[in-house]
Chain A
Amino acid sequence: MTQSSLHETVRIGLLTGAVAAAGILFDNAYHIQVLVFIGINTILTLGLNLLMGYTGQISLGHAAFYGIGAYTSAILTVHFQFSPWAALFPSLGLAVLVALIVGIPTLKLSGYYLAMGTLGFGMIVFIVFRELDFWTGGSSGLAGIPSLKIGSVDLMSGRNFYYLVWGAVLGTLVVSRRLIESRVGRALRSIHGSEHAAMAIGVNTQAYKLQVFVFSAFLAALAGFLYAHCIGFISPGSFDFMASVRMVTMVVIGGMASIWGALLGASLLTLLPEWLHAFADYEMIVYGLILMLVMIFLPQGLLRGLLDIYERSRNA
């Protein structure tokens, strides 16, 4: 494992280098914007992957936490004149609180209660975003969300926001890695392996499931916060059931229980709609198909699956 941690350090170093290089090389504002979205989606996917891929608990309403992060900060800055950084803590705090309220009753029970609970929860939150229009602007959305500043540097301008988001991605990657390779990570994976056996070796499965659920909600809210202040305008459509399905698809494509796969899944599903404009009309069908095909043919995810195929063809 010391060797694998060394590999990891090298990889993270390489990624850092690639991020810096891309920031210098890309000067087209649109390209930078796409890279920012990839980063935001990577944070979402990493969080959901800890919950789904490593712990084996399914959330079908994660867009709600993404939305809570985005809307809380947007409302506080637009209507209550908070500075964006001051709005960060209440946004993350509210997501954590709501995750506790949703998680405590649903995670007591094993099986699909979390999936069902989060599905319903996601729908309710979506309706709240749409109907609470004096704060959220209803279906037409909330505009005029201020950009982030550090001192007098406006992060919206140029590449600054890109560096901020990718700094957060790298931080999330390192934190996820450390969690997974620890006593906590082993406990989470044991729950995925067999919840009964996990209990029998002394893992407080309820407490761990709750912890990882709350942490993944926290990361989703962080991504939502970045998203809101990146584009300055949000509407409920970004946080609907489809958005939750998109997140699950990113996790599945990248590979359950694979941190580097999360990067791949997020990149692919961010780029695909950009490349194929016709995609938007068939989004639901395409995701359904992707989910089905990956589950059937590449159950370990695209990354692992392609590596396996490559190795097999080399050995053949």
Chain B
Amino acid sequence: MKDPEMLDRDGEDGGAPILRICGASKAFGGVQALENVSFEVSQGMILGMIGPNGAGKTTLFNLISGLYPPDAGRIFFNEEEIQRLPTHQRVRMGIARTFQNLALFENMNVLENVMVGQHVRTRCGFWGAIARTTGVRREEAACRENALALLDMVGLVDQALKPSADLPFGWQRLLEIARALASRPRVLLLDEPASGLNALETGRLGDLILAIRNQGITIVLVEHDMSLTMSVSDRIIVLDQGRVLASGTPEEIQTHSAVRTAYLGEHCEQR
């Protein structure tokens, strides 16, 4: 399944990082959710991010996508500082995400969810919508075609006209990924996409993640399913209590003793 050319497990590759986090911190009241977190993601890689519940993974996504401002630290996308930009501008630049607790638009059908996902790649405004010029109609038709193609990619094209809330849970996760892809991102942040999926669905999700990466989209994958994360990720970062505990290739992480104690839940016997 993996394309050997795309795999670059040496980690420290030459390309400029597409995403760089420098000393990001965030506290909620007394809880230090993130403390001085720094790392880079190179173009075209899949970065796995693991860590126990409450480690700060979702908070990190919220900082990157701009839903919360960081208390301190800087975030670079393509060497451009973005931590002060509003979320919608970051999406336009090419950062898309999914949510751990699904955030589909339940007042829309499946197709509309993916169409609205193309918001930053379409242009029709207030007056255009009212005038409904040929240009606007053409854009609308293209938007629809793109949405159907994306639904086809995730295997939901037959569900296009169903209310999104009527889909089974696993399909809703896929729909959210299709919606995120609709913004034609360069970086895709996936927050626990396999949670709630059965083994078969998780396997397919793994294939989908690799297919997305093979389109040149960089992925940050937060996931508790170890076999999925280990099998698709080029590198892995371990977060624990808001700090980076370790980072390395999946093999390195699996043998890292601190990680095993903190996260994998194994009591490492004294060496």
- In the complex formed, the residue of B with least CB distance to A203 is B119
Q: Per-residue 0/1 for B82-118: is the Cβ within 8 Å of any A Cβ (1 yes, 0 no)?
A: 0000111001100011010001111110001001110
* B103 and A184 form a contact (CB under 8 A): no
In the complex, B207 has a CB within 8 A of chain A: no
Which residues from B are CB-within-8-Å of A204?
86, 88
* A186 and B67 form a contact (CB under 8 A): no
Which residues from A are CB-within-8-Å of B86?
199, 204
Q: Which of B9-17, B37-45, B122-130, B249-257 contacts A (4 or more CB under 8 A)?
A: B122-130
A193-B105 CB under 8 A given contacts A182-B136, A182-B140, A201-B183: yes
In the complex, B132 has a CB within 8 A of chain A: yes
In the complex, B228 has a CB within 8 A of chain A: no
- In the complex formed, the residue of B with least CB distance to A197 is B103
Which residues from A are CB-within-8-Å of B92?
202
- Other than A201-B180, A202-B119, give 10 A-B pairs with Cβ distance below 8 A: A182-B132, A182-B136, A184-B129, A187-B119, A200-B87, A200-B99, A201-B96, A201-B120, A202-B183, A203-B88
Cα–Cα distance between A187 and B88 once the two chains are bound (Å) = 12
* B106 and A193 form a contact (CB under 8 A): yes
In the complex, B65 has a CB within 8 A of chain A: yes
Which residues from B are CB-within-8-Å of A189?
105, 107-108, 112, 116
Residue among B103, B119, B128 facing the most chain A CB atoms (10 A cut-off):
B119
- In the complex formed, the residue of A with least CB distance to B66 is A199
Cα–Cα distance between A199 and B143 once the two chains are bound (Å) = 19
A201-B179 CB under 8 A given contacts A186-B116, A189-B105, A193-B106: yes
* A199 and B103 form a contact (CB under 8 A): no
* B119 and A186 form a contact (CB under 8 A): yes
Nearest chain B CB to A194 CB, angstrom units = 5
Nearest chain B CB to A292 CB, angstrom units = 23
Nearest chain B CB to A287 CB, angstrom units = 26
In the complex, A149 has a CB within 8 A of chain B: no
Q: Size band of the A side of the interface?
A: 20 to 34
What is the size, in residues, of chain B's interface with A at 8 Å between Cβ atoms?
Answer: 41
* A190 and B116 form a contact (CB under 8 A): yes
Cα–Cα distance between A266 and B129 once the two chains are bound (Å) = 25
* A179 and B129 form a contact (CB under 8 A): yes
Q: Across chains A and B, which 8 residue pairs bring their CB atoms closest together, nearest first?
A: A202-B91, A193-B105, A182-B129, A197-B103, A202-B120, A186-B116, A199-B87, A183-B124
A175-B130 CB under 8 A given contacts A201-B180, A203-B88: yes
Cα–Cα distance between A1 and B111 once the two chains are bound (Å) = 11
* A178 and B105 form a contact (CB under 8 A): no
* A200 and B140 form a contact (CB under 8 A): no
Which residues from B are CB-within-8-Å of A215?
126
Nearest chain B CB to A257 CB, angstrom units = 7
* B103 and A196 form a contact (CB under 8 A): yes
A192-B125 CB under 8 A given contacts A187-B119, A200-B67: no
In the complex, A117 has a CB within 8 A of chain B: no
A186-B108 CB under 8 A given contacts A197-B103, A200-B103, A202-B120: yes
In the complex, A211 has a CB within 8 A of chain B: yes
Which residues from B are CB-within-8-Å of A194?
103-105
Residues of A166-196 at the interface with B, using a CB-CB cut-off of 8 Å, are: 175, 178-179, 182-187, 189-190, 192-194, 196
* A179 and B130 form a contact (CB under 8 A): yes
Cα–Cα distance between A183 and B123 once the two chains are bound (Å) = 8
Q: Find B88's partner among A186, A197, A202 (CB 8 Å cutoff).
A: A202
Q: Per-residue 0/1 for A192-225: is the Cβ within 8 Å of any B Cβ (1 yes, 0 no)?
A: 1110111111111100000100010000000000
Q: Find A201's partner among B67, B116, B128 (CB 8 Å cutoff).
A: B116
* B107 and A187 form a contact (CB under 8 A): no
Cα–Cα distance between A203 and B87 once the two chains are bound (Å) = 8
Cα–Cα distance between A179 and B87 once the two chains are bound (Å) = 24
Which residues from A are CB-within-8-Å of B107?
189, 192-193, 257
* A200 and B129 form a contact (CB under 8 A): no
* A201 and B99 form a contact (CB under 8 A): no
Which residues from A are CB-within-8-Å of B136?
182
Nearest chain B CB to A33 CB, angstrom units = 31
